[in-house]
Amino acid sequence: MAALKKSKSKRASGNQAKGVQCIPKTKKGKFQNRLLKWYGEFGRDLPWRRTSDPYKILVSEVMLQQTQVDRVIPKFHEFLGKYPTLQDLAESSPDDVRKTWYPLGYNIRPYRLHGIACETIERYGGAIPSKAEELLSLKGIGRYTAGAIRSFAFNEDAPILDTNVMRVLHRIFIGKGDPKKNKTDLWVLSEKLIPRGKGYDFNQALMDFGAMVCTARKPLCLVCPMKSICLTVFSDEK
């Protein structure tokens, strides 16, 4: 990020003061339309986007935590080949699941996933619930994963906020300060911005946009469809 300089803009200071409670309607509309249009053209074709099975979506979301997509894809297929259903996963041994997980790392995840499978069988008869409070009551499912399951498996307009989404929304709508210190506002934003009935595409688009355009180290501001509404916009002036 050292090589990047933020463009100073009057837009930034003016809108920052208003906070996220009152996003101008025109900016909201432009953001939604441009993001969905961009996604229609450049969105990635990923295996977990070809299913609405909550179990498979849960597996993909846990695997994607702190792990690159290209490392997850082969393991996703292998894992589901070995444990095709939640029941299969619950009936296997936690150590076997950890071995199958190798070499994805961050090894608490296979144990958590196995625990979620067992708890879901015990409490919900094997059907992953769709309500936020029920998902959040399962040990190992946090607010992001609950939102991802609700929007990607159950087609609900549920907000998500991971590192990528946080960065995108913070740069475009807040502009200053540390995104991590604005988490509450960013959760509000991620909910308010979803176009009604389009939570699935909108959330997938946000994640792709953060991974492909508004990246942490080399954001593509010059060609970014958001640059006229973004409160950050980096210029590479070495």
* Residue ranges in contact with ligand SF4 by CB under 6 A: 171-172, 213-214, 219-221, 224, 226-227, 230, 232-234
Inter-CA distances, 152 with 60, 69, 123, 156, Å: 11, 17, 22, 8
Interatomic CA distance for residues 148 and 137, integer angstroms: 15
Q: How far is the CB of 230 from ligand SF4 (least distance, A)?
A: 3
Interatomic CA distance for residues 57 and 167, integer angstroms: 23
Q: How far is the CB of 219 from ligand SF4 (least distance, A)?
A: 4
Q: Which is nearer to ligand SF4, 101 or 234 (CB)?
A: 234
Q: Kindly name the residue from 41, 61, 91, 133 that is annotated as catalytic.
A: 61
Interatomic CA distance for residues 160 and 186, integer angstroms: 10
Q: Which is nearer to ligand SF4, 128 or 214 (CB)?
A: 214
Interatomic CA distance for residues 126 and 89, integer angstroms: 11
DSSP conformation letters of 195-219: PTT-HHHHHHHHHHHHHHTS-SSS-
**222 phi and psi angles, rounded to 5 deg:** -60, -35
- 133 classed as catalytic: no
Q: Which is nearer to ligand SF4, 122 or 236 (CB)?
A: 236
Q: How far is the CB of 224 from ligand SF4 (least distance, A)?
A: 3
Q: How far is the CB of 11 from ligand SF4 (least distance, A)?
A: 11
Asked if residues 139 and 162 have their Cβ atoms less than 8 Å apart, the reply is no
Q: Which is nearer to ligand SF4, 80 or 161 (CB)?
A: 161
Q: Determine if the peptide bond prior to 54 is cis (ω within 30°).
A: no
Q: Which is nearer to ligand SF4, 64 or 221 (CB)?
A: 221
Q: How far is the CB of 214 from ligand SF4 (least distance, A)?
A: 3
Interatomic CA distance for residues 41 and 21, integer angstroms: 30
Active site residues: 61
